[in-house]
Structure 1
Amino acid sequence: MKIAIVGSGYVGLVTGVCLADFGHEVVCIDKDDAKIAALREGIIPIYEPGLDALVKSNISAGRLRFSTDLPASVAPADVVFIAVGTPSRRGDGHADLSFVYAVAREVAGAVTGFTVVATKSTVPVGTGDEVAHIIASINPDADVAVVSNPEFLREGAAIEDFKRPDRIVIGLEDDRAREVMTEVYRPLYLNQAPLQFTARRTAELIKYAANAFLAMKITFINEIADLCEVAGADVQEVARGIGLDNRIGSKFLHAGPGYGGSCFPKDTQALVKIGQDFGSPMRLVETTVSINDHRKRAMSRKVIAACGGDVRGKTIGVLGLTFKPNTDDMREAPSIDLIRGLQDRGASVVAFDPQGMDTARSLIEGVRFADNAYETARGADAIVLVTEWNEFRSLDLDRIKSAMIAPVFVDLRNVYPPQEMARHGFTYVGIGRGIEPVADDAAH
């Protein structure tokens, strides 16, 4: 099939590359001349494991190309995916749909023959209706079926998620689109990927409901972690104990500094606004947003308490900046609030992240960036592990300790067992671990 992807950001690029790898003829479209020129050379603007190799192989095979010419790219397409950003609108939290509607207007004048226009972007309920209205008003003769086909990609595992999805949701109002979209995803049949066909508005809401539920699950275990700390319990054992219940499941029950990233913060805020617009308040989601915002700010106070209540004039080393491992995404990352909170209390911050430092430089002022974890520890009064990159999971703890002024280790991801840290002589603080480890003689 001939497929056009409008928007060559994270979602658009992963979608286009994977569809090309399935054997479709794909063109990814973007207005950014420099980005398109770089992509043509196989230079990827984002970090996603395995994506660069797939781009290069599919360019070489002639199945994938990049263009700034939307009309010429859309005209022969069987399916046009809209995959542009829908950031939170400044001031009110609503999803900003200006990019989606701008694409709809351009596509309206470019389509020829029967074309399916599929929205990949995360959009509020009723957006597909408006896209269909825009296309019909600009080009009354356009033979178009507008569908909702939300993405469910995890940053750092997007290719695996696309090729082995839990489900593929397709919301439509025109039955002709069912056959077309079935053909788009036909290569996944061997993996028995379930296609869920539903109404367009239902598909739009599924995406928000999924992300809000996961955000609530994270926030729930974080509140349980706070209770564990004062009640003398271990949140990891609590999470395991409830996660073994098949009705609950173990995923997204890892206590930490709060959720961030490109999806959960903006999608929970947008769902709150959708509920308000329809007169059906999302009170659980509203509370989730509030708790998470407060939690990210509270992490600096946790570090300050571990340092004896005062960090003025002290150096704090931060391991990990991105909101999760295996990405360079710094959007709404807990590290930002943490570092600013420490700086506000007079601390100097040195940080290292395997992929996020270039982006962090434009977001956080006054931070010294190190070349590795051990340089981060040099002369530090405390180390804070914020993002659980694999290379932080097996640190040479004796080397880390010897480089530090004071052996204070704040583990916001519970990567290390408290007993092990005590054996190495660290003052260790985790998340939701209210049971103090018993240090052996080596720690004294």
Structure 2
Amino acid sequence: MADRQDRRVAVFGAGYIGLVTGACLAELGHRVVVRDIDPGKVRTLQAGDVPIYEPGLGDMIARNKERLRFTLDIGEALEGAEVAYVCVDTPPSVSGDADLSRVWSVVRSLAGAAHLRAVVVKSTVPVGTGARARAALDEAGLTGTGYVSNPEFTAEGRAVSDFMHPDRIVIGADDPAAGALVAELHEGIDAPVVTMDVRSAEMVKLAANALLATRISFANEIATLCENTGADVTEVLGAVGLDHRLGPHFLRPGIGWGGSCFPKDSEALRQLASNTGFHPMLLSAVIDVNNIQKRRAIQRLKDVLGDLAGREIALLGMAFKPGTDDMREAPSTVLASRLAAEGAHVRCWDPLARHDKAEPWLSATRYASPEEAMGGADAAVVVTEWPQLKDVDWTRAATAMRQPVLFDGRNLLDPVRMRELGFTYMSVGRP
């Protein structure tokens, strides 16, 4: 058997998952070629720059430049490769099903690469995709190439750490030798390797994200009940989370979940269930609660300001979470759209997010600091819990606003202090 350090790996897709996968496999000692179809992205990576913001990723790519290359050429990526990773995106289609067109494009491009020992799909796909992929590989002449489902469990903002220090490595294989090879690629990572059939591995990612989304939606429902009864959700869920059977993780209310995984995967799982003739009542409620939560902030502002037409509203934070520039399914996009529909003018601040192509933001005015965004505003909304917001001079902000109205959608600030500073202060589930 070849030495682990000599493994050749092709990674298809240079998005969040592809870049992190390629960089981390190179860090583990493998020789990796990442292939993408976007010439601009490939040129950027070849020049040593990283087109996305992910802590630690740029340094890791630079550190492994002798083992990590980027290309547009399929042949270059596959030359000598033993394993091909499929890391392309699978966005929702018009029907709500996952759009697998990019996955099938990669699979078709492997035709003739019979030297591959394994094709590994990290993209999040519906259960049953592996069986179709197996048939497609056989049709492409790769009957001796194993198929492996190796779902990713990385969170943006800590994706590198999550890959190198995971809770588990899930491997679903139709061929034990291919599964063992993928496990070997991860040598050097201290985590349990959980092996199973392909269909079960495909379900793990969807089920895990759906459960996390459920905890957040549950926290938001309890927060609304606390608002209606005078209880403090921080105290309530803090005590609930001390139960060893439950734990505190993802029991934080807020303005709603977003990003590239929770909305897409929850909807994909609901659609998958519907396609089998089963209506997932709990999952549907989880999604509905989240959709409503994003809009409740607008009603809270209207409760104080009345008609929002002509009002200046500052949204503090645009990315769906701190530590990333990702705007996919960010709650801020819903808020911006709803405010515009109410006739308000939207101001915004975020240290990283790019909104040049996000339609709800085209009419918004972006500011370089939270203080500038709030100057002259009728109200402000904390949308993303950026740590910089804790360092804002809120005394000056209160005097600089036309009306010191603040809705803290992340419960980031102290209610007593904010009211002492003169704010009409609202938060989620706190009296």
Percent identity at matched positions? 43
- Partner in structure 2 of residue 2 of structure 1: 8
State yes or no: 1:58 paired with 2:64: yes
- Partner in structure 2 of residue 105 of structure 1: 108
- Partner in structure 2 of residue 80 of structure 1: 84
- C-alpha displacement of 1:310: 2.2
CA contact (8 A) 1:150 1:207 kept: yes
CA contact (8 A) 1:71 1:106 kept: no
State yes or no: 1:70 paired with 2:74: yes
CA contact (8 A) 1:325 1:387 kept: yes
Once the two structures are superposed, what CA deviation does each residue of 1:284-321 show, in whole Å capped at 9, x if it has no partner? 111211221222223212222232x2222221111001
CA contact (8 A) 2:81 2:116 kept: no
- Partner in structure 2 of residue 121 of structure 1: 123
CA distance in 1, matches of 2:375, 2:358: 20
Once the two structures are superposed, what CA deviation does each residue of 1:151-177 show, in whole Å capped at 9, x if it has no partner? 001000101101100111000121111
- Partner in structure 1 of residue 345 of structure 2: 348
CA contact (8 A) 1:300 1:337 kept: no
TM norm structure 1: 0.93
CA distance in 1, matches of 2:12, 2:357: 28
Once the two structures are superposed, what CA deviation does each residue of 1:251-301 show, in whole Å capped at 9, x if it has no partner? 111101111110111111110111122233322111211221222223212
- C-alpha displacement of 1:359: 4.3
TM norm structure 2: 0.96
CA distance in 2, matches of 1:403, 1:28: 49
CA distance in 2, matches of 1:48, 1:183: 26
CA contact (8 A) 2:327 2:354 kept: no
Return 5+ residue gaps in structure 1 as ranges: 436-444
- C-alpha displacement of 1:417: 1.4
CA distance in 1, matches of 2:251, 2:356: 28
CA contact (8 A) 1:321 1:356 kept: yes
CA distance in 1, matches of 2:278, 2:171: 25
**What is the RMSD of the two structures over their aligned residues, measured on CA atoms?**
1.4
CA contact (8 A) 2:11 2:77 kept: no
Counterpart among 212, 220, 223 of residue 222 in structure 1: 220
- Partner in structure 2 of residue 438 of structure 1: none
Instruction: Give the AA of the match of 1:292.
Output: N
Task: After TM superposition, list the pairs within 5 Å mapping 1:151-190 onto structure 2.
Answer: 151-188=152-189
CA contact (8 A) 1:5 1:29 kept: yes
- Partner in structure 2 of residue 268 of structure 1: 266
Counterpart among 197, 200, 223 of residue 199 in structure 1: 197
- C-alpha displacement of 1:363: 4.2
CA distance in 1, matches of 2:337, 2:115: 54
- Partner in structure 1 of residue 335 of structure 2: 338
- Partner in structure 2 of residue 301 of structure 1: 299
SS in 2 for 1:252: coil
The number of equivalent residue pairs is 425
Distance change in 2, residues 1:168/1:96 (3 Å): same
CA contact (8 A) 2:110 2:140 kept: no
Return 5+ residue gaps in structure 2 as ranges: 1-6
CA distance in 1, matches of 2:324, 2:424: 30
CA contact (8 A) 1:381 1:406 kept: yes
SS in 2 for 1:299: helix
